[in-house]
């Protein structure tokens, strides 16, 4: 599933510059469907501007393609809608009406199946939220039918096919995802038995849990969620097809064309991966195509690894331990992160971080950039977020006798940390440590990781050395305050190209 996450450092192969405008995204959908083994595209109504004529434009431009691979059957457009909070609802209302209008369009032009039949619901923390969205959509659909289709036979096809898929984004909810899924799916099956025969999806976030709790809790919580989701699906006598939202760098999932042998077994049970912009555009096109073909062939072979009740309790304790180290550390360095993130180049027409239409993410009492800017900011000074709090957390895990359990459920831990560690700039960390004690704690993280896991962190190849030099330059320019934004941004992008992801 291709997404619009703006984490690419390089320009897409199909345009000259790296910024993808809203009006470019229709062309992007068609190109990806035609030139890569991509069969789903997530249309984001949550955090960015939207071309609301997407359906008409795709049908008009893709007649030949859709005659071979029907839109809504072989190729899919799935909407990510805003969270259902009962307040700023104008974007959700527009998404609802857009889906209904597209269903009408499909019927008018003789297409058998409505093109959009699923919504991803962000920030889901309870079963009540997707239930409310589903009920709201049914009410809007009924009103739409009474106004525009009065006297005609009720169009029940869309409602029978329609799914609201929970997108779960925080560690506590991932660790207890059965409290969301079990009541939601049971009610759904009573209302719509067809939902059981086709199975259900759920969407597990990977970036935001890492931002809120750190690398290790994010991975362990996803493993627990996959196991619990399978239990809930078995209880409902249906199949489950988990979606995992992942970026290219380890902090955001390690899903990239060069890392297949590591991430596919790590996330066994996942059936759909988000293929974000960096995966698509920061690697050679043919390498991307081969990786996607291999994923389509091999991902279905991996079965969910069950997590025992005892391990789930231990993982819950571990997540708390790591989080209690991570959050105050990030709160302390938030001003630096926000400062660097302000230099990160934009890649899509996203809504502003805060302001009239925007929204923000945060930890504790501080506001932070979203995941791409957060990750990119720390990498840009040679301080990969994967390393922060992890060493101190591993020390605590050792004291609790749970190190072996971490490695059992996070077998890619060493590889992830080694990969991130190639972009570590020790000199910058030492200089930061002279100014603020929190950075000396991060130095302890580095030492503990190397000692406990018996690995060495630091640049390995010439390109890693170049990245380190660029991050030294970025740090010095920021500290001296005598460089223009364009100069700093140039170095930021050059470093991002080397690591093959903006953040």
Reading the block at residue 272, the tokens are: 């759909």
The residue out of 307, 342, 375 marking a domain boundary is: 307
In CATH, what number is assigned to the domain containing residue 176?
A: 3.20.20.60
Q: Are residues 302 and 315 both part of a single domain? A: no
pLDDT at 354: 39
Q: Which residues contact 202 (CB under 8 A, 6 or more apart)?
A: 165, 166, 168, 177, 181, 229, 240, 242, 243
Residue 251 lies in a domain: yes
pLDDT at 126: 96
Each as own residue / partner, the long-range contacts of residues 309-317 (CB below 8 Å, 24 or more positions apart, any chain) are 311/405, 311/408, 311/409, 312/175, 312/224, 312/227, 314/402, 314/405, 315/175, 315/220, 315/221, 315/223, 315/224, 315/405, 315/409, 316/175, 317/400, 317/402
DSSP 280-348: HHSS-HHHHHHHHHHHHHHGGGPPPPP--HHHHHHHHHHHHHHHHHHHHHHHHHHHHHHHHHTTSPP-B
Please report, in angstroms and rounded to a whole number, the separation of the first and last CA atoms in the chain: 19
pLDDT at 228: 98
Reading the block at residue 329, the tokens are: 């550390």
Residue 14 lies in a domain: no
- 121 Rama class: left (phi>0) / alpha (psi -120 to 50) / beta: beta
pLDDT at 155: 53
Per DSSP bridges, beta strands 361-363 and 366-368 are: antiparallel
Q: Are residues 111 and 253 both part of a single domain? A: yes
Distance separating alpha carbons of residues 177 and 125, to the nearest angstrom: 8
Residue 6 lies in a domain: no
pLDDT at 116: 93
Residue 5 lies in a domain: no
Q: What is the H or E stretch that residue 240 is in?
A: strand 240-245
Q: Are residues 294 and 381 both part of a single domain? A: no
Q: Are residues 251 and 316 both part of a single domain? A: no
Helix (H, G, I), strand (E, B) or coil at 450: helix
Distance separating alpha carbons of residues 215 and 421, to the nearest angstrom: 13
pLDDT at 358: 39
Q: Are residues 30 and 157 both part of a single domain? A: yes
Q: Are residues 74 and 161 both part of a single domain? A: yes
pLDDT at 151: 63
Q: Are residues 53 and 157 both part of a single domain? A: yes
The residue out of 269, 288, 307 marking a domain boundary is: 307
Residue 332 lies in a domain: yes
Q: Are residues 272 and 331 both part of a single domain? A: no
Q: Could you give phi then psi for residue 75, rounded to 5 degrees?
A: -120, 140
Average pLDDT per consecutive 10 residues, the chain (503 residues; last block may be shorter): 97 96 95 97 86 91 93 94 72 89 89 91 96 92 83 64 95 98 97 93 98 97 98 98 98 98 97 98 98 98 97 98 98 96 92 43 79 98 98 98 97 98 98 97 98 98 98 96 93 98 98
pLDDT at 361: 61
pLDDT at 87: 54
Closest CA to 272 of 249, 241, 227: 241
The residue out of 246, 275, 307 marking a domain boundary is: 307
Question: How much is the pTM?
Answer: 0.95
Residue 59 lies in a domain: yes
Q: Which residues contact 406 (CB under 8 A, 6 or more apart)?
A: 216, 220, 318, 394, 397, 413
Q: Are residues 76 and 205 both part of a single domain? A: yes
Q: Are residues 487 and 448 both part of a single domain? A: yes
Residue 463 lies in a domain: yes
* C-beta separation of 18 from 347 below 8 A: yes
Reading the block at residue 468, the tokens are: 């380190």
Residue 8 lies in a domain: no
Q: Are residues 247 and 315 both part of a single domain? A: no
Q: Quickly count: other Cβ atoms within 10 Å of residue 352's Cβ.
A: 11
Reading the block at residue 121, the tokens are: 């619901």
Q: Are residues 183 and 222 both part of a single domain? A: yes
Boundaries of domain holding 446: 310-499
Query: Based on the structure, what is the number of domains in the chain?
Result: 2
């Amino acid at each position: 599933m291709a997404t619009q996450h703006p984490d690419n450092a390089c320009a897409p192969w199909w345009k000259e510059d790296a910024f993808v405008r809203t009006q470019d995204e229709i062309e992007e959908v068609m190109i990806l469907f035609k030139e890569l083994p991509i069969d789903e595209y997530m249309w984001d109504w949550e955090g960015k501007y939207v071309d609301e004529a997407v359906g008409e434009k795709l049908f008009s431009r893709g007649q030949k393609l859709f005659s071979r691979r029907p839109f809504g059957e072989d190729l899919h457009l799935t909407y990510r809608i805003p969270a259902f909070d009962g307040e700023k609802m104008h974007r959700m209302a527009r998404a609802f009406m857009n889906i209904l209008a597209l269903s009408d369009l499909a019927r008018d032009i003789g297409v058998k199946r409505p093109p959009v039949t699923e919504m991803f619901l962000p920030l889901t923390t309870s079963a009540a939220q997707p239930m409310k969205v589903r009920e709201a959509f049914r009410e809007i659909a009924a009103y739409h039918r009474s106004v525009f289709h009065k006297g005609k036979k009720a169009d029940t096809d869309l409602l029978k096919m329609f799914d609201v898929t929970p997108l779960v984004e925080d560690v506590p909810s991932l660790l207890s995802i059965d409290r969301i899924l079990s009541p939601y799916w049971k009610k759904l099956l009573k209302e719509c038995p067809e939902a059981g025969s086709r199975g259900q999806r759920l969407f597990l976030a990977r970036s935001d849990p890492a931002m809120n709790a750190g690398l290790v809790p994010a991975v362990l919580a996803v493993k627990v969620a996959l196991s619990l989701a399978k239990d809930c699906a078995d209880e409902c006598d249906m199949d489950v097809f988990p979606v995992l939202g992942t970026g290219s760098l380890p902090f955001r999932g390690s899903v990239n064309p060069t890392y297949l042998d590591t991430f596919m077994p790590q996330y066994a049970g996942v059936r759909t991966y988000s293929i974000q912009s960096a995966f698509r555009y920061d690697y050679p096109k043919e390498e991307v195509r081969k990786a996607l073909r291999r994923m389509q062939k091999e991902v279905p072979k991996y079965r969910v690894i069950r997590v025992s009740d005892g391990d789930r309790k231990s993982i819950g304790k571990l997540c708390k331990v790591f989080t209690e180290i991570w959050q105050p550390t990030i709160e302390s360095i938030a001003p630096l992160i926000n400062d660097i993130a302000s230099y990160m180049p934009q890649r899509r027409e996203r809504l502003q971080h805060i302001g009239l239409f925007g929204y923000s993410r945060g930890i504790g009492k501080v506001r932070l950039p979203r995941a791409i800017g957060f990750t990119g900011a720390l990498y840009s000074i040679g301080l990969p977020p994967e390393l922060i709090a992890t060493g101190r957390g591993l020390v605590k895990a050792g004291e609790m006798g749970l190190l072996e359990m971490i490695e059992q459920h996070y077998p890619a831990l060493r590889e992830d940390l080694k990969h991130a560690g190639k972009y570590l700039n020790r000199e910058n960390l030492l200089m930061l440590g002279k100014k603020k004690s929190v950075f000396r704690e991060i130095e302890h993280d580095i030492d503990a990781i190397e000692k406990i896991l018996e690995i060495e962190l630091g640049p390995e190849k010439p390109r890693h050395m170049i990245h380190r030099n660029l991050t030294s330059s970025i740090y010095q320019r920021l500290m001296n305050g005598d460089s223009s934004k364009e100069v700093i941004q140039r170095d930021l992008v050059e470093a991002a190209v080397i690591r093959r992801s903006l953040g």
